[in-house]
Amino acid sequence: MARHVEPDLPPSLACLKNVDTLLRCPICFDFLSISMMTKCSHNFCSLCIRKFLSYKLQCPVCNMQMTEQDLRNNRLLDDLVANFQAARQELSKAHFESPPISPKT
Amino acid sequence: MARHVEPDLPPSLACLKNVDTLLRCPICFDFLSISMMTKCSHNFCSLCIRKFLSYKLQCPVCNMQMTEQDLRNNRLLDDLVANFQAARQELSKAHFESPPISPKT
Ligand SMILES: [Zn+2]
Ligand SMILES: [Zn+2]
Ligand SMILES: [Zn+2]
Ligand SMILES: [Zn+2]
């Protein structure tokens, strides 16, 4: 669920954009919060998927039929989100404080 | 399973070390390859965990009893490994080519 707005990645960290995108929930687009994985291997915030399942008993991404009992905690994603956010903040700080890095030169 | 040796992260990217560690298999210590998640939320390479389970029907991390049927693909981790490795390579290149960044100054 939305908690705060993340600053954009500086251009020199654009290569981390895919990792950033993968760690987000397909329902709320924020970073995954208490990640739950479906049987079909799709991941959502615990609150987002439970809310969705109270309306429709299927996966919001691939439409596979499912119930709340099929959800499994994906705790590694929670640890990845926390550590990625910390690294991203530290790198952004370092990159904004230093002259821009141009990998092309 | 071991495929190749990764270069160490440059000191300016030390903050990515935790993310790197989390994406590795607790059996082979290489990056997860075809990640499988147990019921107890632990993740291993598909080959590593299947080999382990052929000897002992329990989770190598927490010892919870389990069988191969309890394994679930954790595909997001495979995508994270691929994208993190690409980003890490690009950042390492940029950081080695540029003067070192000292976030303390
Ligand atoms: Zn969400
Ligand atoms: Zn699905
Ligand atoms: Zn392994
Ligand atoms: Zn376990």
**Domain contains B95:** no
**Domain contains A3:** no
**Domain contains B75:** yes
Q: Kindly identify the ligand whose nearest atom is closest to the C-alpha of B45.
A: 3
pLDDT at B14: 86
pLDDT at B96: 65
pLDDT at A9: 75
**Domain contains B104:** no
Cβ–Cβ < 8 Å for A58, A64 = yes
- At B15-40, the pLDDT tens digits run 899 999 999 999 999 999 999 999 99
**Domain contains A102:** no
Q: CA-CA distance, A70 to A59, in Å (whole number)?
A: 11
- Read off the pLDDT of each residue in A84-103 and give the average, rounded to a whole number: 74
**Domain contains A99:** no
Phi, psi of B9 (to 5 degrees): -70, 140
List the single residue in A with minimal CA-CA distance to B77: A77
Q: How many domains does chain A have?
A: 1
Return all residues near B57 (Cβ < 8 A) that are at least 6 apart.
B65, B66, B67
pLDDT at B103: 55
Q: Residue B19's domain spans which residues?
A: 12-86
CA of B26 to the centre of ligand 4 (A): 11
**Domain contains A65:** yes
Q: Which residues of A touch B (CB under 8 A)?
A: 12-13, 15-16, 18-19, 22-23, 37, 39, 41, 43, 72-77, 79-80, 83-84, 86-87, 90-91, 93-95, 97-98, 101, 103, 105
Q: Kindly identify the ligand whose nearest atom is closest to the C-alpha of A75.
A: 4
pLDDT at B12: 78
Cβ–Cβ < 8 Å for A48, A30 = no
Q: CA-CA distance, A5 to A12, in Å (whole number)?
A: 20
Of A15, A39, A76, the CB nearest to B72: A39
**Domain contains A96:** no
CATH number at residue A37: 3.30.40.10
